[in-house]
Amino acid sequence: MASGGGVDEVSNKQVILKDYVSGFPKESDMYLNASGTIKLKVPEGSNAVLVKNLYLSCDPYMRGRMKQPIPGNETYIEPFKPGSPIVGFGVAKVLDSGHPDFKKGDLIWGMTGWEEYSLITATQTLFKIHHTDVPLSYYTGLLGMPGMTAYAGFYEICSPKKGEHVFISAASGAVGQLVGQLAKLLGCYVVGSAGSKEKVDLLKNKFGFNEAFNYKEEPDLHAALKRYFPEGIDIYFENVGGKMLDAVLLNMRAHGRIAVCGMISQYNLEHPEGVHNLMTVVWKRVRIEGFVCDEYCHLFPKFLELVLPYIKEGKITYVEDVAEGLESAPAALVGLFTGRNVGKQVVVVARE
């Protein structure tokens, strides 16, 4: 640790994106820079926050940020910069602050760098953590962006009613596992799809889904959905896209709702697959709506009010897949796209 002008300067390991990625991301698209340093002080006059990162979140939407931007085809979130650290949601501890809302010692969650320490200037993305009687890592998942996504998508987009038939794809992931449990607590019939026997068992035995199936073992997805939903689907929480969406469209009930949260089957394709059964949207009067979590941040207090008691009563449970150390982050992120993770993928940078 060096000291420059009375300010401690420490080494700061970082995960750097090498270059824009096409096709499936590889670990080699990122590298660990061990030679970086950072001053543990917010620059004079800045309203930034300096944090020590504790937990980092690996999320499928990050794949879109690795692509070279195409003019006129910008997405809702800006791409990563090659040669700079990856950025994503995380949990951190405030070491120094020039911002009136944050003080030294506060725990926060929000957008931070994939590095040991970060100077965060976009403080509007940060939430102070007030409830520390649950695992802190939950703020990368269940109580963070994925949790808010599940809540907003299910309640705000799907307008669910007791007794409705709900299907969730990628159901054991960070978002799907909570959507399923919220639907069950409301009194819905819930079926999920996942990509392994272990995940299917989790859905049925840990998260309380009525049924679950391994889509890799179903040569005919339309027939599989017909088996689990003989009377059709009221609500589809879409995380996969492609062939799954096409099969779902044939099985929707009249006035069904589809909340489009993501389409992980399409993220690594140079030419996205088309959808063939869209005409069913007309004659079944189905509403399909995409959404992004950012537009629902104002509901965060309401979300906590609902979910925290359920967690404490054991009515909501959450499964995390924990990778240890910043150096494990590239493999953890890439693993999302082959379904290697079981549950919410978290990277532990430091526990305190």
Identify the band that residue 85 occupies on the pLDDT scale cut at 50, 70 and 90.
Answer: very high
Helix (H) or strand (E) holding 204, with range, is helix 197-205
Residue 2: alpha-carbon gap to chain centroid: 37
> In this predicted model, which residue has the larger pLDDT, 286 or 133?
286
Residue 112 is encoded by which pair of tokens?
Answer: 């931070």
What is the structure's pLDDT at 294?
A: 82
Look at residue 30 and tell me whether its pLDDT is greater than 90.
Answer: yes
Alpha helices for the chain (secondary structure H): 145-151, 176-185, 197-205, 221-228, 242-251, 280-283, 300-312, 329-335
What is the structure's pLDDT at 186?
A: 96
DSSP, collapsed to helix, strand or coil, labels residue 42 as coil
Q: What is the CA radius of gyration of the chain?
A: 21
The percentage of the chain sitting over the pLDDT mark of 70, rounded to a whole number, equals: 97
The pLDDT tens digits for 223-252 are 999 999 999 999 999 988 889 999 999 999
β-bridge partners, 327: none
Identify the band that residue 341 occupies on the pLDDT scale cut at 50, 70 and 90.
Answer: confident
DSSP, collapsed to helix, strand or coil, labels residue 18 as coil
The pLDDT tens digits for 196-213 are 999 999 999 999 999 999
Measured on CA atoms in the order 250, 230, 260, 263, is the torsion positive or negative?
Answer: negative
The pLDDT tens digits for 135-180 are 999 999 999 999 999 999 999 999 999 999 999 999 988 899 999 9
Task: Give the separation between CA 172 and CA 342, rounded to whole angstroms.
Answer: 7
The pLDDT tens digits for 106-133 are 999 999 999 999 999 988 889 999 988 8
Q: What is the pTM of this model?
A: 0.87
